[in-house]
Structure 1
Amino acid sequence: MKMIIALAAAAMLLAGCSASGAKEEETLRISAAASLMDAIGELEPAFRESHPDTELVINYGSSTKLRAQIEQGAPFDLFLSASHADMEKAAEGGYIDTDTVVPFAENRLVLVSAHTVDGEVTDLLGSPEGNIAVGQPDSVPLGIYTKESLAAAGLWDGLDGHLVYGKDARQVLTYAESGNADLGIIYQSDAAISEDVEVVGELPASGTPIIYPAGIAEQAENPAAAEAFLELLTGDEGRQVIRDYGFALPEDGK
């Protein structure tokens, strides 16, 4: 009996040593703007290949909603925002390491339709017919940018009663693609990946550049992996993917 107990104890000790010697899988949590879904998805395989022991968990949504989740305690290591304002608020709240914040992409607004539409953007929006899908103007960066652009051009108030609101950029795209809205105002990057909508034209410049900043969490659980993903995103491969998916690089507009 003593021999059996001794052997069992030795086996447990060896198992414990083996477990402690094994490399534990870590998790990298990214909160990313919905409009980045395809571009980030393109970069995922490269990151997984170079970090096979890191589980990649990505939460997509409106940047404003993601910031609210962050402020409410949702775990994250890296924030990829479609809104400089939301990144700034998160940083001011102490959730982002300000030394890590870097712009990595830019975008612009376009009017699209699932059908061929003739006419100038300002004419179509100045005398609207049918429904127009836009982002929520009070809580979604796409909607905020849209309202600012159209208000500056004197077109916003005339759209009352014609607007269909989406909770994020991808829902607005879906409304336009499905024909549930006759027109849609979306990011150029979303128009570039869609086979179901045609670009009617670009919206008037609003004066506020649509800049996408990235920032690592002040209390990141996996800062090394977050830094590695950010290096991938802002390196040669990431920059090419950004352009391939219809975004511009910050220096392209200079």
Structure 2
Amino acid sequence: MRKLMNAAACVLFLLAGCGSQGAAEEKEELRISAAASLAEVMAELEPGFKESHPGVKLVVNYGSSTKLRAQMEQGAPFDLFLSASEEDIDKMAADGLVDPDSIRVFAGNKLVLATAGEADGSTPAEKLLLESEGKIAVGDPDSVPVGKYTKESLRELGIWDELDRRLVFGKDARQVLSYVESGNAEYGILYSSDAFISKKAHVAGELPEGDTPIRYPAAIAKKTELKAEAEDFLELLTGGQGRQSIEDYGFTVPDGE
């Protein structure tokens, strides 16, 4: 009987130990909603953050900034929002979803005309667009920041209406890039950062900035339970390593930030 009791005690002890170990391994989740164009920057910063925060698991949701905002407005959980649009951040702040005092602009971008064909950059982008006969991939201006920026740029050139019938709309910046890389569109209007990482898309020229500067702001959720961790990631993003990664992947670092 004593042997049976000792054996049972050992089993209970081992089970308790396993339970404690499982509980110790549970990690808090820092949920980040990030513009699709930031995927490479995020991948480069994640290892350093995980090393300094071993008890935190990063959960990143990528998409167009406007669609991400819609998800969060409908109740999708998040702790930090990295947007490709100041307008979306401002709307989140107005609705009380992010802390306005936490908003920081951490990157900028430019629009370029890209193609999977040959490109020597000697012909103005406007001329290439007007003389071509193929499809032109752009972001949807009604739902994607890159599309809004593109529409403003082409209106600045006075050619938006002329190109309208040849436009193919992408759901986010990365889908526009895929249309170009696959040859489903002769040209695409991309962020310079997306063209920078592509092995198939070549920059044929730059497009002018429209009325809205392309700036990437970040903001911390007002109701986050991981405020310190969100602040730490934001510090990483805006610090030396983050700034270097941003520049390494074709973005610009705003002056004074």
TM-score, normalised by the number of residues in structure 1: 0.91
Q: How far apart are the structure 2 equivalents of 1:161 and 1:27? A: 45
Equivalent position SS for 2:29: strand
Q: How far apart are the structure 2 equivalents of 1:184 and 1:228? A: 36
1:158 Cα deviation from its structure 2 partner = 0.5
Percent sequence identity over aligned pairs: 59
Q: Which residue of 1 aligns with 2:61?
A: 59
2:209 to 185, 205, 209: 205
Q: Deviation per CA, 1:10-35, whole angstroms, max 9, x where unpaired?
A: x57x939x839847411110000000
Q: Which residue of 1 aligns with 2:16?
A: 15
2:251 to 229, 234, 247: 247
Do the aligned partners of 1:216 and 1:227 also contact (CA within 8 Å) in 2? yes
Q: Which residue of 2 aligns with 1:47?
A: 49
Unaligned runs of 5+ in 1: none
2:30 to 24, 28, 31: 28
In the alignment, structure 1 residue 218 sits paired with structure 2 residue 218: no
1:207 Cα deviation from its structure 2 partner = 3.0
1:4 Cα deviation from its structure 2 partner = 4.8
Q: How far apart are the structure 2 equivalents of 1:193 and 1:180? A: 19
Equivalent position SS for 1:134: strand
In the alignment, structure 1 residue 160 sits paired with structure 2 residue 164: yes
Q: Which residue of 1 aligns with 2:85?
A: 83
Q: Which residue of 2 aligns with 1:238?
A: 242
Q: How far apart are the structure 2 equivalents of 1:138 and 1:207? A: 16
Q: Deviation per CA, 1:116-172, whole angstroms, max 9, x where unpaired?
A: 146321112234410000000100000000001111211100112211111000000
Runs of 4+ in 1 over 4 A off after TM superposition: 1-5
1:124 to 122, 128, 140: 128
Equivalent position SS for 1:195: coil
1:219 Cα deviation from its structure 2 partner = 0.7
Aligned residue-pair number: 252
My pick for the range that moved more, 126-135 or 24-33, is 126-135
In the alignment, structure 1 residue 192 sits paired with structure 2 residue 193: no
Q: How far apart are the structure 1 equivalents of 2:164 and 2:215? A: 28
Unaligned runs of 5+ in 2: none
Instruction: State the AA in 1 paired with 2:205.
Output: G
Q: Deviation per CA, 1:161-215, whole angstroms, max 9, x where unpaired?
A: 2111110000000111111100000000111111111111110221321000000
Do the aligned partners of 2:104 and 2:218 also contact (CA within 8 Å) in 1? yes
Q: Which residue of 2 aligns with 1:228?
A: 232
TM-score, normalised by the number of residues in structure 2: 0.90
Equivalent position SS for 1:175: helix
Q: How far apart are the structure 2 equivalents of 1:139 and 1:224? A: 32
Q: Deviation per CA, 1:19-60, whole angstroms, max 9, x where unpaired?
A: 398474111100000000111111111111111211111000
